[in-house]
Structures are given as structure tokens and as C-alpha cells.
């Protein structure tokens, strides 16, 4: 029972940690810009009525008054209203990116995305669902405390006041990233992803003119490279849950076994992220999957502790950043500023 009690105390302490929320602000900025670009294309292609309006307004999906699309219970089912909804979505995403009225902007962006999904379910992508969850976390966490208009208004600095705030938001986004990649790996059950059909899945994908950026078929010399990429993708995605183990060992500090501390010292999360960077850049180069690779990379900073970000980019450190190394005396959870993932 004592061991269980210690485990529970460590668990609670990890979720009670505080840090300067620079990483959350960076993720908010990157995610807002990526999704703003995506929604801007709806307007550029003149598709707002089709994707955001009910069928009565020329939409491709549900009728006005459909139970899940409550927005069209209160708005007139017209093409002009669909354009107003598109404008509101753009405004909300601009607020997310700039950190203007951050909680309200994040909630509005998530709600409008959900309404679009309710109207035209076939147009809802996995990345949209992930970003709706992301925006909820950003709304409830201190993501607007730095790198934002809100910070400028409150403190006179775009970087905020440098006061450590609850770190649970970044930790929860790490969990979301792990769950996303792990389930993606488990979902690849087709034989072409496995040795029995020679790890040929990526080759087959490149043969599909609907998603390939280059006219099929690919050159034959590329086949072994696609086999290596297929096998590597499977191993990489299946290994993702090990990131949580690494972060747990890091949080334990000296309490972790010596061999575990040696593994942690190699920064396996950085190696994992480097492979992910190459993976998504490869997707962006070879496949036309919209914002998917860029939207995923926008979340990757959560794997980095704010102190690491401040070393790599000193300009991101608030002038009052001494709070990062000076814990609040009333909060024992901040006693070790580098114990958090």
C-alpha cells in the first residue's frame, strides 16, 4: 500500500507542476495559423455555402434544423449566412493564432468546426477532430499568457510576465499525441503494412493518383525505399507509448533506476520527434494530404520543456522568466523545475 501511495503522490505531483507556458503559446500560434490557412481556402475556392451552409442554402449535407447542427436552428438558411459563418470561423482562428481573447477564440473555433462536421460529416477529417480537442485544451490552459495579444494587453509585453503556470495542458497534449500515433499504428492492419506482403503499403499509396503528387507509377528504384519507409512507420508509431515511460522516468528524477536515467539522458523524445519531422516532411513532399503534415508538426513543440525552448530561442524567454528556476514556496510540486517532461 505504501508503494501505491508513493505512486499516487508522484502522479498527482506531476500533474500539479508549473512552468512558463511558452510552449503552449507556440503551439497555439502554430496551430491557429495552420487551421486559418485551411479555412481560408474554403473562401478562396468559393465553397462556404457548400461546406458551411445547410442543404437549403446550397450546402452538400444536412438540412437546417438537423439536431446536431444547432447553429442552423437560430440562423436563416441562406447563402449569405453561410458566408457570415465562414467569416466568424476565420475571425475565431485569427484570435487563436494571435492570442486575442484566447479562451473565447479557442472555444469558438472548436464549436464552428464541430458545426461544419455536423452539416457535412463526410468532409470532417481526423485532423479536424484532433484540432477540436486541441482547441479545448488551449482554451482551458494558460496558452494565451505568452506570445499573444492578451499578454501584451495585460503585461505590456508580447511574452507575458514570466510567471510559472499549471503545466497540465502541455502534458495532456503529449498524451493526445501519443494516443493519436499509437492508434494510427494499431489501425494499420492491412497485409501490405506487414512482412507477408513485403511492406508494400507506401508503394501502393504512391500509385494512387488521387493522393500522389507525382504521376504514377514511381520509379522502380524507389520501391526498396518505400519498403523501408513502411516498416519504419510501423515501428515508429508502435513505439510512441514509450514516450510516456520516458517522461515518467524523467519526472521521477533520482528515484528512477540508474539504467532508466541513462536512457532519459539520451533524450529519446528528441530522436522520436526527429523521425516524425522527416516522416511528415516526406508526406508533404510525396503526397497531397492537405494540411495534415503541417497540422501534426504544429503540435510537436509540446514534447519540449519550456527551458529547452528558451535555450534554443532566447527571445522567447519573458524578461521576468526567473520564475522558471525559482519555485513558488507554497507549491511543493514546483520544487524541481526540470522534473517535468
- pLDDT at residue 138, rounded to an integer: 98
Rounded to 5°, angle at Cα 248 from 246 and 249: 65
Which pTM does this prediction carry?
0.89
CB under 8 Å to 150, separation ≥6 — which residues?
99, 100, 101, 102, 144
> What is the chain's mean pLDDT, rounded?
90
- pLDDT at residue 323, rounded to an integer: 38
pLDDT confidence bin for 321, thresholds 50/70/90: very low
Region 153-170 average pLDDT: 95
- pLDDT at residue 61, rounded to an integer: 86
pLDDT in tens, 25-57: 999 999 999 999 999 999 999 999 999 999 988
Region 146-160 average pLDDT: 96
Q: Above 80 in pLDDT, residue 328?
A: no
- pLDDT at residue 64, rounded to an integer: 82
- pLDDT at residue 320, rounded to an integer: 54
pLDDT confidence bin for 329, thresholds 50/70/90: very low
pLDDT in tens, 181-239: 999 999 988 889 988 889 999 999 999 999 999 998 889 999 999 999 999 999 999 99
Q: Above 50 in pLDDT, residue 82?
A: yes
Region 73-91 average pLDDT: 95
- pLDDT at residue 12, rounded to an integer: 86
Q: Above 70 in pLDDT, residue 154?
A: yes
Q: Above 50 in pLDDT, residue 326?
A: no
Region 253-274 average pLDDT: 93
- pLDDT at residue 66, rounded to an integer: 77
pLDDT in tens, 106-147: 999 999 999 999 999 999 999 999 999 999 999 999 999 999
- pLDDT at residue 327, rounded to an integer: 37
Amino acid at each position: 500500500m505504501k508503494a501505491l501511495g508513493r505512486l499516487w503522490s508522484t502522479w498527482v505531483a506531476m500533474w500539479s507542476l508549473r512552468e512558463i507556458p511558452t510552449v503552449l503559446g507556440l503551439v497555439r500560434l502554430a496551430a491557429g495559423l495552420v487551421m486559418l490557412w485551411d479555412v481560408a481556402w474554403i473562401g478562396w475556392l468559393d465553397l462556404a455555402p457548400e461546406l458551411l451552409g445547410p442543404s437549403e442554402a446550397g450546402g452538400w449535407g444536412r438540412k437546417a434544423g438537423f439536431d446536431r447542427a444547432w447553429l442552423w436552428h437560430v440562423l436563416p438558411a441562406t447563402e449569405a449566412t453561410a458566408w457570415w459563418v465562414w467569416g466568424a470561423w476565420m475571425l475565431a482562428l485569427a484570435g487563436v493564432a494571435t492570442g486575442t481573447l484566447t479562451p473565447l477564440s479557442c472555444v469558438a473555433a472548436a464549436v464552428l468546426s464541430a458545426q461544419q462536421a455536423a452539416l457535412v460529416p463526410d468532409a470532417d477529417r481526423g485532423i479536424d477532430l484532433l484540432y477540436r480537442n486541441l482547441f479545448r485544451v488551449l482554451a482551458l490552459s494558460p496558452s494565451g499568457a505568452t506570445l499573444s495579444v492578451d499578454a501584451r494587453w495585460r503585461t505590456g509585453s508580447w511574452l507575458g510576465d514570466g510567471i510559472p503556470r499549471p503545466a497540465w495542458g502541455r502534458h495532456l497534449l503529449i498524451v493526445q499525441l501519443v494516443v493519436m500515433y499509437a492508434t494510427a499504428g494499431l489501425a494499420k492492419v492491412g497485409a501490405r503494412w506487414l512482412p507477408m506482403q513485403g511492406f508494400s503499403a507506401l508503394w501502393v499509396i504512391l500509385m494512387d493518383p488521387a493522393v500522389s503528387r507525382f504521376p504514377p507509377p514511381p520509379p522502380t528504384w524507389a520501391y526498396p525505399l518505400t519498403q523501408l519507409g513502411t516498416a519504419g512507420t510501423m515501428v515508429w508509431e508502435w513505439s510512441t507509448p514509450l514516450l510516456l515511460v520516458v517522461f515518467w522516468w524523467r519526472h521521477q528524477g533520482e528515484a528512477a533506476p540508474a539504467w532508466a536515467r541513462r536512457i532519459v539522458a539520451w533524450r529519446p523524445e528528441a530522436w522520436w520527434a526527429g523521425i516524425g519531422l522527416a516522416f511528415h516532411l516526406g508526406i508533404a513532399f510525396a503526397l497531397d494530404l492537405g494540411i495534415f503534415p503541417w497540422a501534426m508538426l504544429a503540435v510537436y513543440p509540446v514534447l519540449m520543456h519550456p527551458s529547452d525552448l528558451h535555450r534554443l530561442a532566447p527571445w522567447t524567454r519573458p524578461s521576468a522568466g526567473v520564475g522558471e528556476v525559482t519555485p513558488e514556496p507554497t507549491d511543493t510540486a514546483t520544487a524541481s523545475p526540470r522534473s517535468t517532461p
